Amino acid sequence: MKLSRSKNNRGFAIIVAMIAVTVLSLLAGAFAYSMKIETRLASNSNNDEQMLWLGRAGVERARWILALEAQLPFSSKNQIWAGGPGVGPETNGPLAGISLNDFQVGEGTVSLKLIELESKLNINTADTPLIQQVLTTMGVDASFMSVVADSVQDWIDADDATRMAGAESDYYQGLNPPYYAKNAPIDDISELLLIKGVTLPIFKGGSATNDPGAAFQRHHLGFGSAPGQIPDYPFGLRDVFTPFSSGKVNLNTAEENVLSVLPGMNTLSLQSLLKYRAEFDSTMGGPPAPFMSVDNLAVAGVDSRAIPQLKNYCDVRGKTYEVHVTAKIGDYSREYIAILFRNDPNVDVFSFYWK
């Protein structure tokens, strides 16, 4: 019996030892993992300042490129800022061979993407006819267009006077949660979602569904659809509007949806314009941009009677750019965004932030 008890004790001790070794191994592994995470966080923290300066370096490179291109009386997607091969003096000047991707800065690399904001309409300068033209092209029901157009203008203007179909703070204060009309220019295009009449489908396009928890859910007015039916729009307000630009659309860079909503632009003129632009090729000895002036629209087949009206909304040169800077150190990356204004010969930074 004693021998058996001794064996049982030894067996129990072995089990206890194995459990202890297992627990200690797990604790050691958890500690090592924790230290690895802490080391990574410390490394990332040490990189923060370097990443910031890489972001700023990217913005300065974008400013330099845009400043050198300021001598040209137009801007097009063939130019260096858009990732094109370059035109005119670019091919023999300081920008020759310049890349926007993965250029070395100190211990890291920087990549740039520039978006010309004159490729869209400026929501802060858009008048009622232009907003209504956009909504008409989208297919929004005519009986509700004035609600959106008037409410957008009430949101932007500095007074508290309510347009006939619009809304000021007294309307928004009756919502849950309540908020005030901004009565100032829009800074971010997503502000449209706070404005009376602007639903998620109108903002995003397609058949987007409203977010049940979003502030703009209560503004749904059932534009152009049967009760309970989700509207399906070919594009949204965010696709054609920007809060920053000179106020005129660049014929050389604007997308089809933007061109299609311009007052005076009918279907035949739009098709002629797009065909002319698609066939354009600067390598064949032609001009360095599809349109050197708004008057060139006649050459592209646009109805000549519409050109005087289109001159109020169009140009052939961009002045405002949204710059996306991707900074990388090893496998750690961060994206910065800046808004640049080209006021010849200077290029000024309006905003700079980490996404």
Mean pLDDT of the chain: 86
pLDDT band at 224 (very low <50, low <70, confident <90, very high): very low
The amino acid at residue 217 is Q
**pLDDT in the model for residue 39:** 60
* 181's tokens: 């009309």
Helices (H), the chain: 2-68, 128-138, 142-156, 169-172, 200-204, 237-240, 256-260, 267-279, 307-310
Q: Where are the domains of the chain?
A: 128-237, 249-315
pLDDT band at 209 (very low <50, low <70, confident <90, very high): low
**pLDDT in the model for residue 236:** 96
Q: Give Cβ neighbours of residue 101 (< 8 Å, ≥ 6 apart).
A: 111, 112
**pLDDT in the model for residue 46:** 65
State what percent of residues in the chain have pLDDT above 70.
84
Query: What is the phi-psi region of residue 251: left when phi exceeds 0, alpha when psi lies from -120 to 50, beta otherwise?
Result: alpha
Q: What is the pLDDT of residues 33-80, one digit of tens each?
A: 766 665 665 555 667 889 999 999 999 999 999 999 888 889 999 899
**pLDDT in the model for residue 214:** 44
CATH number of 128-237: 1.10.40.60
pLDDT band at 186 (very low <50, low <70, confident <90, very high): very high
Q: Cβ distance 116 to 75 under 8 Å? A: yes
Statement: residue 306 has pLDDT above 70: yes
* Range of lowest pLDDT (213-217, 286-290, 329-333): 213-217
Statement: residue 240 has pLDDT above 70: yes
